[in-house]
């Protein structure tokens, strides 16, 4: 019952937060979306044009402008208040109902009971990061499927330095602002599912220089019957996707 109360409590916080955000955009701060879009655009332009003083000014100025907009939002203040309220409730509940720890004694299992299945932990190639650039190693490395979320930065996946297993290989990358580049060997078939708010895509021979709020699905002709293939899922708020042969 306590778990249900906690889940309902968290659900109500999410609903109230969404309502507060909607009210803020519609009635109290109608220019918020425009301000956030300008800040994200400054960051994107600053990342795209490297090595220039103006690009650095745009990049860091966009980050500062974005932080100022977020910190001034009514929704952000509500979130801080909700977190403080949640921690206070947890604290008082722990005082009223302290957790009791009782020793548990387990009887030896019969010999005919099957042993527990072994779980193997593997090291991921990429990590979830908010700011920065990630790239696969420039020498031979062991492959593991990729499933990451990023904030601002580029992700580069080069499949020419690894041995892909037979079957379907998965690459799943979700990001806010940045570019994604995936290099695939010629003998590997490819399927691409891409979603972007604003940016451009280049998938093998198919190139769309400008896209706005689009979903793209492409695959090579021999994908379904191939023994080795790569399925790519990418999602970006602002940025470019490039999938090319190497």
Q: Is there a contact between 180 and 241 (Cβ–Cβ < 8 Å)?
A: yes
Which residue segment(s) compose the domain that 8 sits in? 2-96
Residue 82 in tokens? 């909700």
pLDDT tens track for 174-205: 998 889 999 999 999 999 999 998 888 999 88
Is the same domain home to 142 and 235?
A: yes
Q: Is residue 193 part of a domain?
A: yes
Do both 75 and 134 map to the same domain? Answer: no
pLDDT single digits (tens) 13-35: 566 666 666 666 666 666 667 77
In a domain, residue 75? The reply is yes
Does 232 fall in a domain?
A: yes
Give yes or no: residues 235 and 146 share one domain: yes
Q: Indicate whether 105 belongs to any domain.
A: no
Residue 17 placed within a domain: yes
237 and 144 belong to one structural domain: yes
Last residue of a domain, one of 44, 74, 96: 96
Residue that finishes a domain, picked among 96, 117, 145: 96
* Calpha distance 194→236 (Å, rounded): 8
Report helix angle 53-71 to 32-48, nearest 10: 150
Q: How far apart are CA 178 and CA 216, in angstroms?
A: 18
Identify whether 104 is part of a domain. Answer: no
232 vs 234: CA distance, rounded Å: 6
Shared domain for 154 and 234, answered yes or no, is yes
pLDDT in tens, 85-115: 767 766 666 666 555 555 555 555 555 545 5
Model confidence pTM above 0.75: no
Number of domains in the chain: 2
Q: Identify the pLDDT of residue 104.
A: 57
């Amino acid at each position: 019952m306590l778990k249900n109360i906690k889940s309902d409590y968290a659900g109500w916080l999410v609903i109230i937060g969404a309502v507060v955000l909607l009210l803020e955009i519609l009635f109290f701060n109608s220019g918020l979306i425009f301000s956030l879009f300008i800040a994200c655009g400054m960051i994107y332009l600053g990342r795209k044009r490297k090595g220039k003083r103006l690009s650095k000014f745009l990049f860091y100025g966009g980050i500062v402008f974005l932080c100022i907009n977020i910190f001034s939002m009514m929704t952000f203040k509500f979130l801080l208040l909700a977190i403080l309220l949640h921690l206070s409730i947890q604290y008082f509940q722990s005082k009223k109902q302290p957790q009791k720890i009782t020793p548990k004694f387990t009887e030896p299992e019969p010999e005919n009971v099957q042993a527990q299945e072994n779980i193997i932990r593997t090291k991921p190639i990429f990590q979830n990061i908010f700011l920065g650039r990630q790239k696969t190693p420039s020498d031979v490395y062991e492959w593991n499927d990729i499933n990451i979320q990023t904030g601002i930065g580029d992700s580069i996946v080069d499949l020419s330095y690894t041995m892909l297993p037979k079957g379907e290989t998965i690459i799943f990358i979700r990001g806010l602002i940045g570019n994604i580049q995936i290099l695939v060997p010629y003998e590997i078939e490819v399927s691409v599912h891409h979603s972007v708010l604003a940016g451009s895509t280049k998938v093998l021979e198919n190139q769309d220089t400008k896209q706005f709020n689009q979903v793209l699905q492409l695959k090579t002709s021999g994908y379904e019957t191939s023994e080795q293939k790569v399925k790519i899922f990418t999602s970006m708020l602002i940025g470019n996707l490039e999938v090319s042969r190497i």
